[in-house]
Amino acid sequence: MKTSLLAIPVISLLAAAPAFADFSVNIGAINVSPDDSSTSLNVIEQVAGLPNGSTALAVDSNTQLGLTFDYRIKPNWAVQLIAATPFSHDITVKGSAIDGLKVGKTKHLPPTLLAQYHFMPEHQTFDPFVGVGLNYTIFFDEQIDNQLKDTLQALNVTSADDSVTLKAKSSFGLALQAGVNIKLSDTLGVHMMVSKMDIDTTGRVQVNGTTVQSVNINIDPYVAMIGLRWTL
């Protein structure tokens, strides 16, 4: 039987773990609900004759399959890695005469590593915890919506032959968490948590590779998950 090079450090870490350590996998639905704000679309406001500061961007919520991993290193302390299938968000304008205008969409992955403090490690069923950690969000597959393309053409900012694209930069920030694990059997349980994540990005509308509109977006979502928990 062959053992991959990637498995060797994992096996070594588990072998060196203290007797009270355990490893758990949580699988379920995870939702990202942005608490968003942004700077205004100042260039578009100027071209369209809209009041200064009258527009902003909104990012909608999305639910995906969540997969988190817990490793208990001491009775009261654990580390958790949050992962998920890629989230997809629609971006629209809010405010002024172009309220609801579809700007585009983006996907992102927000891997997050947290240190958790468990209040009642000795309890057989109920295990509440809080956590603090770091989040790194990677944006990709950004797409401009046809509504924005048509609007830019109507304002004579672009022509039908121009290439109009949307870009968003990656983000690095803090994450706070609270939740509870409910034990159903020695290996099976329920995992529930809610997190507040600091996710800030800069969205850029580019025409033929040149940025014509740049907007700072504070997504800062609430992230909630409920799922089944397997302890190994």
* Mean per-residue pLDDT, 89-104: 95
Task: Indicate which CATH number applies to the domain containing 61.
Answer: 2.40.160.20
Interval 64-84: pLDDT, tens: 999 999 999 999 999 999 999
The answer to whether position 16 is within a domain reads no
Number of domains in the chain: 1
Domain that holds residue 167: 21-231
At 146, which helix (H) or strand (E)?
helix 146-154
Answer whether 217's CB lies under 8 Å from 48's CB: no
* Mean per-residue pLDDT, 4-9: 40
Which string of DSSP letters, residue by residue, matches 8-59? Answer: HHHHHHHHHS-TT-EEEEEEEEEEEE---EE---HHHHHHHTPPTT--EEEE
At residue 3, the pLDDT reads 38
- This prediction has a pTM of 0.86
At residue 21, the pLDDT reads 59
* Mean per-residue pLDDT, 11-40: 78
* Mean per-residue pLDDT, 200-210: 95
At residue 121, the pLDDT reads 85
Is 80 exceeded by the pLDDT of residue 7? no
Which residues partner with 206 through β-bridges?
Answer: 165, 211
Structure tokens at 206: 């580019």
The answer to whether position 12 is within a domain reads no
